[in-house]
């Protein structure tokens, strides 16, 4: 199985095997597979940033990327549009690796921090206008916490597995029907229920995740696609920490 196809169907593969075999499979996957997946995510995000009509000061952010000291830090200077465009042309990893000053090693970023104005200090606690986490990006869509409404029966619900257009997330613009993965209303019996809309959404926070509620894979767009989902019941060791963040 080719590398991109394998990664795209990783969740489906892992869900089809027994729990006892999952750790073995995960720990024997080549590190290059995960690096390739990580680089593809970065490339998709950079393309959207370069194409965006909004102009932000863009910084790289590393959180727990360093396994030795568990540090987190922000790049000392913003990425320019030219440097991002050069990355797309050359596919160089140098731009998106940042130095851990405690360990003196280069580590990959885990997210992009977007500011309308340049932050006055290089402290990580300065709140950005937008944070784009690599772990939330999926095929040019971005995972958010959404409030839904069924236009057929007026049923409303909230979902931490709402995927909207990454471009619309960056620009904070109104969502059209093609800008999100559709969720079906549980109350309606129609098989092809496409009459649901997102009435509002916000960036996903830890408090929005209900761990005690069983994840309904049959309603999750990412699970249905066969991709690795955060609710899959295995942890691929160090690889998960390095590349899924």
| pTM higher than 0.95 | no
Tens of pLDDT, residues 90-126: 755 565 777 777 777 777 788 898 988 776 555 556 7
Between the two ends of the chain, the Cα-to-Cα distance in Å is 25
Which residues on adjacent β-strands are paired with residue 142?
137, 164
153-172: per-residue pLDDT in tens? 889 999 988 999 999 999 99
- Could you give the CA distance from residue 211 to residue 45 in angstroms, rounded to a whole number? 28
Residue 140 has pLDDT above 60, yes or no: yes
């Amino acid at each position: 199985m080719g590398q991109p196809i394998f990664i795209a169907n990783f969740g489906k593969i892992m869900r089809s095997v027994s729990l006892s075999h999952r750790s073995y499979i995960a720990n024997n996957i080549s590190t290059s597979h995960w690096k390739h997946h990580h680089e593809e995510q970065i490339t998709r995000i950079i393309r959207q940033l370069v194409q965006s009509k909004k102009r932000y000061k863009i910084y790289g952010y590393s959180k727990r990327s360093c396994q030795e000291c568990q540090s987190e830090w922000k790049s000392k200077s913003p990425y320019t549009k030219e440097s991002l465009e050069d990355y797309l042309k050359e596919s160089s990893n140098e731009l998106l690796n940042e130095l851990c000053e405690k360990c003196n090693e280069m580590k990959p970023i885990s997210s992009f921090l977007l500011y309308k104005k340049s932050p006055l200090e290089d402290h990580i606690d300065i709140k950005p206008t937008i944070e784009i986490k690599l772990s939330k990006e999926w095929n040019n869509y971005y995972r958010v916490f959404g409030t839904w409404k069924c236009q057929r029966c007026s049923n409303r619900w909230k979902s931490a597995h709402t995927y909207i257009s990454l471009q619309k997330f960056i620009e904070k613009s109104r969502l059209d029907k093609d800008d999100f993965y559709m969720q079906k209303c549980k109350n309606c019996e129609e098989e092809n229920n496409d009459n649901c809309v997102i009435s509002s959404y916000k960036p996903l926070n830890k408090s929005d995740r209900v761990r005690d509620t069983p994840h309904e894979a049959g309603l999750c767009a990412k699970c249905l696609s066969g991709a690795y989902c955060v609710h899959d019941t295995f942890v691929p060791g160090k690889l998960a920490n390095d590349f899924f963040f």
